[in-house]
Structures are given as structure tokens and as C-alpha cells.
Amino acid sequence: MPNAKAYSVASATSPFTRTTIPRRDPTPHDVQIEVLFCGICHSDLHQARNEWSAMPTVYPCVPGHEIVGRVTKVGSAVTRFTAGELAGVGCLVDSDGTCPECKAHYEQFCPGAVYTYNSPDKHTGRVTYGGYSDSIVVNERFVLRIPPNLDLAGTAPLLCAGITTWSPLRRQGVTKNKKVGVVGLGGLGHMGVKFARALGAHVVVFTTSTFKVEDAHRLGAHEVAISKNAKEMSKHAGSFDMILDTVSALHDLTPYFAGLKRDGNLTLVGAPDQPHAVPAFALIFGNKSLSGSLIGGIQATQEMLDFCGEHRITSDVEVIPIQKLNEAYERLLKSDVKYRFSIDMASLKAE
Ligand code: NAP
Ligand code: ZN
């Protein structure tokens, strides 16, 4: 079994350090990919620091599920990819392919879904290791086509931040004449703004960071509200068809329920471990709904990537060498990134 270079954490409080991990030789249906860029998702941080009680972290942990790379080798039965082509890998690397969820293109809900990191790996007997690595081997069903016209560093975050925001916006039927709020202008939030705008909606950003107001407009928001300012919040009462909440920490949802119009929907994609308080009356008056949304299936991910190719949409990234991972995590916690870190994996190859 060949080894790959990677960065891992050994415990919830350890820094990232260089390591080697096993990667299988491609089986007949596998695609071997040289990782070129990998985005840093806040989920990577939650998982590396064991912040999710429902999904305990197995150490060592190699996160990374926003992967763009180049195919280096394919298994004998692979039909969709050949060596030399660009390829993407998101949060999923396998599923049973036969259950009702898989048949409905919701592989993320398959009982046998294998996530890109921290999932049991039947090939190695360990857990899966993600994209903070120089290579990865993935079943071809989970490999995405990358539009040829996009910047690769900015394309990597589409594989999680992109699909996670695209999917609920589409499910809620966001289009022109709809008013959409996006809460939190981070990695997910800034993609939510770009997509809602490209789909024709009137877009309002809710942010805690006054220094992001100008950027919010540049990214596509028609209006911006500072969420700590009650006056700015009340201005939008009863007006939204949908609000997409991307916040990674516990916060008060009540002002967002108040922002919804009758039958409006608040979708949570942000995933803090602690439970949010949900006041019943804030939902009952107005037939409002609260939903969650988990990434998206493979077909929807390809649709989103194709849309990005057509509309020239990528993530705004700060490209970093992998040696800056620990620093990047501290900055992510302070919302100090515009608006996604993308690791240039050439820095790992050079080590
Ligand atoms: P991120 O880049 O850190 O962005 C989160 C944003 O939330 C921050 O930029 C900040 O925006 C806001 N925020 C942070 N702390 C806050 C607080 N205490 N109160 C109010 N706002 C706060 O993170 P991300 O990568 O976009 O991920 C966001 C969340 O989505 C994470 O919990 C992640 O695990 C989750 N996630 C879920 C899925 C899914 O499938 N559902 C997929 C990927 C990620 P402002 O500065 O604008 O206020
Ligand atoms: Zn993610």
C-alpha cells in the first residue's frame, strides 16, 4: 500500500504536524488523484478539535473535504475519468449505491455513507483520511468534474461550502422576486450570497462584523444588517422568503424568525454542538418553518459545479501553504479570513 504525505492532529488539543498515511492502490472502480488545493472548512476545525459529540473524532485525524486535483491513475473498470484530467472530491467518498437515499441522489443520508475523513475505511481498517494530503483514492462515483474555466484554488471550496449553500437555496425555490437572508459571512455564507444573487434573489447579509459590510456588497448583497443592532434587524421584520443560517456558534435565532414572512423558512446549515433555543410562538405565528440541510448529493454537487462554470463563480480565497495550518485555524476562529483558506498542496510536496 503506497504512502501519502499528510498533516494530522493527534488529539483535540494538538497542533497539526507532518505525517504519512496509507492510501490504497486503485481498485477497479477507483480514481487516484494528486491533490492540488484543499479548502479549510469550519467542519474540519469542529472535527479536529472533537467538538461534535454525535461524531467523536478518531485520532490521528486528517481533515479536508474541499479537494481539487488531477487524476494520476484509474482502475481497470473506470469509465468516466482518465489520467491527466481535473477532478474534485467533496465530503463523501462512498455509499452503498442501492438504498432509497442513494437512488434518490441523497448519498449523504445512505446508512453506508462513507465521509471523506473520520469514517470507518473498509480498505485500510482505519478511518478515512481527508484532503490535507498530497493524494487521495476515491471510487469514481464520488469524483466530480471540474469546469475547465475556473481558478482551481477558488474552486476547491465549492466542494463543501458551495454545495452546502446551493442545495437549500434550490430546495426552497430561490429565484427572482424572492428575498433571501444569509446569516454569517464566512466560507459558507459568502457562497450563499453569491448563489442567491446569481439565482436572481434580493439578498440581505446579516453579520456580526462591521468590517465585512463593504465586502458583503461586493460579493452580491443588496443590503447588509449588523446583527447586533436591533434597529437594523427590525427593519426587515416579516419580509424574508428564506433565511440561510451559516453560523458556526450558538446564537439567538429569534430575530431571524421575526424576519420571515408568512410561510417563510429558516434553514440551518451552521453546526454548533449545543442546541439552539426555538421559541414555539415565533414559528406558530406566521406558519414559519425551521429546517436543516446537510451538504448535497453527488448529482446536485455536479449541477452546482456546472452552474459555477457557466456563471464564473468561485470562492474568494486566501491561498496558504500547508505549514500555516495551525495559524489558519486560529484565524478561522476569529472570523479573520476572506472568505476561505485554500491550501496550496505544492507546499506539502516541497517538504
Ligand atoms: P466560517 O468560515 O468560520 O464562518 C462562520 C461565520 O459565522 C463567521 O464568519 C461569522 O460571520 C459567523 N459567526 C461566528 N461566530 C459567531 C457567533 N458567536 N455569533 C454570530 N455569528 C458568528 O465557517 P464555515 O466554514 O462557513 O462553516 C459554518 C458552519 O457550517 C460550521 O458550523 C460548519 O461546521 C457548518 N457546516 C455545515 C455543513 C452542512 O452540511 N450543514 C457543511 C459545511 C459546514 P460574521 O463575521 O459575518 O458574523
Ligand atoms: Zn465542509
How far away, in angstroms, is 300 Cα from ligand 1 center?
Answer: 22
Helices (H), the chain: 42-48, 100-103, 152-155, 161-171, 187-198, 213-219, 230-234, 254-259, 280-284, 298-311, 325-333, 346-349
Q: Please, which residues have CB less than 5 A from ligand 2, an ion?
A: 41, 43, 160
pTM of the model: 0.98
Ligand 1 environment, Cβ below 6 A: 41-43, 46, 160-161, 164, 184-189, 207-209, 212, 246-249, 251, 269-271, 293-295, 332, 335
Tens place of pLDDT per residue across the chain (351 aa): 679 999 999 999 999 999 999 999 999 999 999 999 999 999 999 999 999 999 999 999 999 999 999 999 999 999 999 999 999 999 999 999 999 999 999 999 999 999 999 999 999 999 999 999 999 999 999 999 999 999 999 999 999 999 999 999 999 999 999 999 999 999 999 999 999 999 999 999 999 999 999 999 999 999 999 999 999 999 999 999 999 999 999 999 999 999 999 999 999 999 998 999 999 999 999 999 999 999 999 999 999 999 999 999 999 999 999 999 999 999 999 999 999 999 999 999 999
| Ligand 1 atom nearest residue 268's Cα | 41
Contact 167, 300 (CB under 8 A): yes
For ligand 1, atom 11: residue with the closest CA: 184
Nearest ligand to the CA of 108 is 1
Nearest ligand to the CA of 38 is 2
Contact 56, 7 (CB under 8 A): no
For ligand 1, atom 31: residue with the closest CA: 248
Q: How far apart are CA 6 and CA 136, in angstroms?
A: 10
The pick from 185, 209, 335, 336 for probing ligand 1's pocket by mutation, whose C-beta has the most ligand atoms within 8 angstroms, reads: 335
Contact 93, 107 (CB under 8 A): no
